Structure 1
Amino acid sequence: CDVQECSGGHPEWHIQGDVLPYIDGSCIFTTMDGAAHRIDGTWDLLIAHPPCTYLSNAGARHLWKGHVLNQERYEKGLEGKAFFMRFWNANCPRICVENPVPSRIYGLPRYTQAIQPYEYGHPYSKRTCLWLKNLLPLQPTNIVEPIGTWCPSGSYSYKHGAKHKGIFTKDRAKNRSKTFLGIAQAMAQQWGVKTEKTPAPAATGNGGMGK
């Protein structure tokens, strides 16, 4: 479910619109192929990717102008935290919320684990945190050597050599929001079982996909 149209070629799997009316289950919705669906009770599993623009530790430097707090940005961060917590407190037995390392000023719950794309077959570094409820930590499936940083910040790119500048320094927000296929496959195969806290066999994968 996203406010944007699907980009993976499966409109039958995509709901376009505000996600909040649907996350607790017991809802009726229409996917982008025009088909209507009904969910009775809760979903089996919720995997959420809330926006990180104002919550990420990478953007913490924008919170201050000298020694003065940027009140507008701080309030947007509080709105981002409220949206994040709506997923974390959803009425669902199994929950994963994904985000970068958060700024401590917002006091988010402690994340469960941090993963990297190069642990799932993609030769890039992009530290990503997972907050988990009733799910075992995601296990690496195909560890490879990273060749660069995925979508690094402008300041990072400026200070580092060509090898370490990373991939996609333009359109960072869009490219950085993509979920790597290897990570998505690991989530599906390790968590896509009904038995609580029982992981399925791991998978390998290459390429990238949208949320």
Structure 2
Amino acid sequence: MKVLVACEESQRVCTAFRELGHEAYSCDVQECSGGHPEWHIQGDVLPYIDGNCIVTTMDGAAHRIDGTWDLLIAHPPCTYLSNAGARHLWKNHVLNQERYEKGLECKVFFMRFLGADCPKICVENPIPSRVYELPKYTQTIQPYEYGHPYSERTCLWLKNLPPLQPTDIVEPVGTWCPSGSYSHKHGAKHKGIFTKDRAKNRSKTFLGIAQAMAQQWGGRTEKNPAPAATGNGGMEKN
């Protein structure tokens, strides 16, 4: 599969698909932190989301994409769209017009991914503020459903993809990156693992979720088949 992972500098989703043999690329205005510049496109992602393009990765190599991508996974910025940030929209019952207009700009960006010319699409974001009237999300997922003992409810808007299924449900020990107002109002369990750089840490996809996306929506390719059976009849864990 040809996979574009938009607004991803961590490369966790991109790498998960690469490990299964897919031609996946991450794209972000930032340099990648995932260690694979040869898979990362640095710059505006919008010119590439409909396919039929040539992308240049950070190592200087050019890659031709004929036709549409097989799968587009997008993580557009959520600062102005999320329900957690909605409290900043109002001050003394007066609408913060500047912040509201920034949210509208983010909505346009968000909708470009949902409307991309691609047969399979996933757009990921936190619970959105109702004021921006985003389309209804398909499902919500939690890190603790994929082997990470934290809560951080995330929404997925899916097109021609099955809902993501839990792979390893564990007991959550705390909230990952709650908003400042939420953490101040709740006990230690809900104050969050990160109290600084929340936006940066919240934007990184959990490895278990990234692997579930790759395995459930991509699977192994013929050039990267499943590992052979071990001597005890089991299979090596990917």
Provide TM-score, normalisation by structure 1.
0.90
Identical counterparts, % of pairs: 88
2:185 aligned with 1:159: yes
Q: What is aligned with 1:104?
A: 130
Structure 1 CA distance, aligned partners of 2:93 and 2:195? 29
2:58 aligned to which of 6, 18, 32: 32
2:30 aligned with 1:4: yes
Larger displacement relative to structure 2 (111-120 or 63-72):
63-72
Question: Does structure 1 conserve the Cα–Cα contact (< 8 Å) formed by 2:178 and 2:190?
Answer: no
Give the gaps of 5 or more residues in structure 2: 1-26, 221-236
Q: What is aligned with 1:71?
A: 97
Q: How does 1:17-28 map to 2 (within 5 A)?
A: 17-28=43-54
Letter of the 2:104 counterpart: L
Q: What is aligned with 2:119?
A: 93
2:164 aligned with 1:132: no
1:189 aligned to which of 200, 215, 229: 215
The alignment partner of 2:64 has SS state of strand
Question: Does structure 1 conserve the Cα–Cα contact (< 8 Å) formed by 2:175 and 2:189?
Answer: no
Size of the aligned set, in residue pairs, is: 196
User: Any idea what the Cα deviations from partners look like across 1:30-60, whole Å, max 9, x if unmatched?
Assistant: 1112211010110000000000010001111
Structure 2 CA distance, aligned partners of 1:59 and 1:7? 26
Q: What is aligned with 2:232?
A: none
Letter of the 1:139 counterpart: Q
TM-superposed deviation, 1:193:
5.0
Letter of the 1:24 counterpart: D
Larger displacement relative to structure 2 (63-72 or 175-184):
63-72
Provide TM-score, normalisation by structure 2.
0.80
Give the gaps of 5 or more residues in structure 1: 195-203, 206-211
Aligned Cα root-mean-square deviation (Å): 1.4
2:42 aligned to which of 6, 16, 36: 16
The alignment partner of 1:173 has SS state of helix
User: Any idea what the Cα deviations from partners look like across 1:111-148, whole Å, max 9, x if unmatched?
Assistant: 00000000000000000000000000000000000000
Structure 1 CA distance, aligned partners of 2:176 and 2:128? 18
Q: Which has the higher contact order (CA 8 A, sep 6+)?
A: 2
Structure 2 CA distance, aligned partners of 1:166 and 1:64? 25
Q: What is aligned with 2:15?
A: none
2:172 aligned with 1:142: no
Structure 1 CA distance, aligned partners of 2:186 and 2:198? 17
Letter of the 2:210 counterpart: A
